[in-house]
Amino acid sequence: MTHLQTVSVGVADYELQLDTLQDDVCYLSVVPRHGQAHPPASALLKGLGWHRGTIATTIAHDSHNIIVAGHQPIDMLLAVQELEKFGGGIVLVDEQKVLAKVELPLAGLMSLKTVPELAEEMTALNEIAKRWGIEGSSPALSISGLALTVIPQVRISDLLGLFDVASQSAIPVFP
């Protein structure tokens, strides 16, 4: 279950300065991918247990926009652009390099590849995510549920940004 927590971050030249090695904090965004005109919603995320890299996926319940979490905005942009190239899936990026990807061109959720091919790609992707410190049976999907705005307590919505499920209201990221 997620919960709201206040974190302090530095600011220099109008940019947030995250100390990810000390605080386990990264950027989180939901990027519209269905022709919506609004900009991405963004917040900070703590608790994945990782200190490097970017994960982006179109498996983002229920809207299946792109959800991306990362430590460097440039890597997050590259991950989103990579997903755009093949219509959706899962991408891992670090130091401006695509390290692994699983292409899911059918609605950003399904593959045209055989099960063995897909399993091999997912295994490689999950191994990198585990090396980064992300735990769980499918670490590559560790962020996909954060956009599902019916699961308590705090989620992120492309329309409302950070979202309190119980009160059904937006939460300001910078109060």
For the chain, give every domain's residue range: 10-170
- Main-chain dihedrals φ then ψ at residue 94, nearest 5 degrees: -150, 135
Listed in sequence order, the residues at least 6 apart from 20 whose beta carbon sits closer than 8 Å to its beta carbon are 26, 51, 52, 71
Mean pLDDT, range 83-87, rounded to an integer? 94
Question: Of 14-23, 48-57, 93-102, 144-153, which one has max mean pLDDT?
Answer: 93-102
Residue 166 Cα distances to 7, 31, 81, 149, 171, angstroms = 22, 24, 34, 10, 12
Confidence class for position 160, pLDDT limits 50, 70, 90: confident
Instruction: With H, G, I as helix, E, B as strand and everything else as coil, classify residue 16.
Output: strand
Token reading at 87: 């219509």
State residue 1's pLDDT score.
63
Higher pLDDT, 116 or 33: 116
Neighbours of 174 (CB within 10 A): 6
Average pLDDT over every residue of 143-151: 86
Q: Please state whether beta strands 54-57 and 66-70 pair in parallel, antiparallel, or not at all (unpaired).
A: antiparallel
Q: How confident is the model at residue 22 (pLDDT cuts 50, 70, 90)?
A: low
Distance (Å, rounded) from C-alpha 53 to C-alpha 82? 15
Residues 6+ apart with CB under 8 A from 63: 30, 34, 147, 157, 158
Q: Which residue in 105, 145, 139 sits closest to 153, CA to CA?
A: 145
pLDDT exceeds 90 at position 173: no
The three-class DSSP label of residue 55 is: strand
Of the ranges 1-15, 54-68, 157-171, the best mean pLDDT one: 54-68
pLDDT of residue 16: 84
Per-residue pLDDT, 21: 57
For residue 59, what pLDDT is reported?
Answer: 92
pLDDT at residue 50, as a whole number: 85
